[in-house]
Amino acid sequence: MSKARVDRIFTETAVLTYCIDEDGKSFAFSFNGNPLGDELTPEITGLPAHLFQGYISTKDLPNSPGKSFSEGYEEQIRTVCQKDSVNTFVLSRFPLPPGGNARVLVSLRDITPIKALAGEKISSELLLGLVAGNMTDVFCVMNLENKLVFLSPSVEKLTGYTVQEMTDMNFFDVVDPEFMPVVQKYLDIFQDLKSQRFLKEEDKHSMTFELQIITKNKETRWAEISAFPYTDLNNRLKGAYGVIRDISEHKIKQEAIQSSLQYEIELSQVKSKYISSVSHEFRTPLSIIYSNLQLLESHLYELDAETLADSFELSKMAVKSLLRVLDKVTIIDATGKGKLEFKPALVNLPELIEKIVRDLNELEIVPGRIIAKVDPVLEEVFIDEYLFNHIFSNLLLNALNYSDKKQFVEFSVFQAESGFLRFEIKDNGIGIPLQDLGLIFEPFYRAANSRYVKGSGLGLAVVKECLKLHNGIISIDSTIGEGSTVKVNIPFRDEETEMKLKNKI
């Protein structure tokens, strides 16, 4: 029995409805949902005359309201026998209105074809079609020539192609070319099975793999394919069948979980580097402070004035070093939270440069190594003093730390074109490897040749964030063993700035 026949039986079943009033008169006839009026003849309905007469004109037909229908509707199965046929009807009666007995709605449904269907044996092909038609996954069968001989309708939802379109083309045409080697691997296994005369039980295992397909509208979707070889009763290979499942949403969730896991790993690594770097940066200054306190505690009255002064000076330098590390950490933290702000104001540039150099000299064992040259035409400029201080304190400190204590660092400041300040810091230190130049502005990153120089790896990260708020640009030219030149451009004048400069606000 075909599926088409099943569908036809259910759609073509005859249904006759009509009403009976309190006087037993029938009216408002309808056949298969189409109104026929208040008069009815066998020719109009197409029902056999004996059925028409037997149910509408005889005493067998409910032609009066009869008893009360307060308990609900009444339903009966009635069979009418003729010479050549037996017909079965479902007779239903409904009170109008519900619970009353004034009128009755009668429904007469011919279920003879349905009863005949129930007694028939459904073919395996129809059963397969019914099951596959209700699957959300795609079920397919492939013959020994790698041609699809069966494909469930759900393939259209997955690929956008109809069953007919997919059958006419090669299924592997929708596979992303990147995954064809995966498909070929399992086709080769299937080819090996073809060469066997009979399949053993251990050869009848499933093959499951994932790939991407390209849909009719050029979208990419993930699919999981589980394929199985099948044989006849004599264990001869006849083909393969498989289930194709859309796992696109699963993949999206999986990637989200992996990204989240990777983020947690990276966050853990950053925390570890942070603790390690800060601990290292704190250890030396704290050791200096502690040793000086021990010295003062044990020999306070034995030390001369010069030794005491040196001890206090070293302690102050250590405290300043700690504060610098804390400043770096504070800026990185504020940047991550979006709380680092740009607050420009009129600043005397030569005085600010002098202060930065002076503060760095106080941190140096060998002071006076910075040679600052400021263009005399530069006086008051419109910049953020806090950010500016951190930018050039860190850049100059790097130049000092990565140079020999006997070498000088040149710091030049002048006005460039189009309202930019140009800053150049030149040292003759160890230089930066080319492969590290693109990474040194990341937090905690340190160049490969810097392991023997103390540092937290936060200085250039601070420079990067402060410059970003200042709309500044930085570039570094470096040669291993010869030194580095850092160039920074910072805008310092716009229409608002000019007005403030003129008014000396």
Check whether residue 366 and residue 493 sit in a common domain: yes
Question: 452 pLDDT exceeds 80?
Answer: no
Q: What band does 223 get if pLDDT is binned at 50, 70 and 90?
A: very high
DSSP for 411-422, written as a single string? EEEEE-STTEEE
- The residue assigned the tokens 């853990």 is 268
Check whether residue 95 and residue 167 sit in a common domain: no
Residues 6 or more apart from 420 whose CB is under 8 A from it? Answer: 489, 490, 491, 492
Check whether residue 357 and residue 478 sit in a common domain: yes
Number of Cβ atoms within 10 Å of the Cβ of 385: 16
User: How far apart are the C-alpha atoms of 426 and 476, rounded to whole Å?
Assistant: 10
**Quick one: pLDDT at residue 55?**
45
Check whether residue 327 and residue 232 sit in a common domain: no
Share of the chain above pLDDT 90, in %: 17
- Candidates 440, 456, 438, 437; CA nearest to 330 is 456
The first and second tokens of residue 13, run together, are: 């079943």
Over residues 103-111, mean pLDDT: 76
Single pTM value for the model: 0.45
Q: Residue 280 corresponds to which amino acid? A: H
Check whether residue 181 and residue 310 sit in a common domain: no
Q: Tell me the CA distances in angstroms from 270 to 267, 289, 417, 445, one per residue in order.
A: 5, 29, 40, 10
Cis peptide preceding 97, ω within 30 of 0: yes
Check whether residue 20 and residue 103 sit in a common domain: yes
Check whether residue 417 and residue 482 sit in a common domain: yes
CA 355, chain centre distance (Å):
50
CATH of the domain at 21: 3.30.450
- CB contact at 8 A, 472 and 489: yes
Check whether residue 321 and residue 420 sit in a common domain: no
- The last residue of one of the domains, among 69, 86, 119, is 119
**Quick one: pLDDT at residue 258?**
86
Check whether residue 347 and residue 492 sit in a common domain: yes
**Quick one: pLDDT at residue 13?**
63
Residues 6 or more apart from 2 whose CB is under 8 A from it? Answer: 126
Check whether residue 217 and residue 147 sit in a common domain: yes
Q: What band does 370 get if pLDDT is binned at 50, 70 and 90?
A: very high
**Quick one: pLDDT at residue 224?**
92
For residues 383 and 123, which has the higher predicted lDDT (pLDDT)?
383
Q: Which of 52-66, 83-97, 388-402 has the highest mean pLDDT?
A: 388-402
Q: Residue 355 corresponds to which amino acid? A: K
Number of structural domains (the chain) is: 4
CATH of the domain at 360: 3.30.565.10
pLDDT tens, residue by residue, 280-322: 667 777 787 778 788 777 777 777 888 878 788 778 777 777 7
User: How far apart are the C-alpha atoms of 212 and 357, rounded to whole Å?
Assistant: 61
- The last residue of one of the domains, among 215, 246, 277, is 246
CA 488, chain centre distance (Å):
38
**Quick one: pLDDT at residue 3?**
53
pLDDT tens, residue by residue, 453-473: 776 677 888 899 889 988 899
Residues 6 or more apart from 39 whose CB is under 8 A from it? Answer: 29
Check whether residue 322 and residue 351 sit in a common domain: no
- The last residue of one of the domains, among 216, 246, 276, is 246
- The residue assigned the tokens 């040669």 is 479
The domain of 181 spans: 124-246
CATH of the domain at 220: 3.30.450.20
Check whether residue 288 and residue 312 sit in a common domain: yes
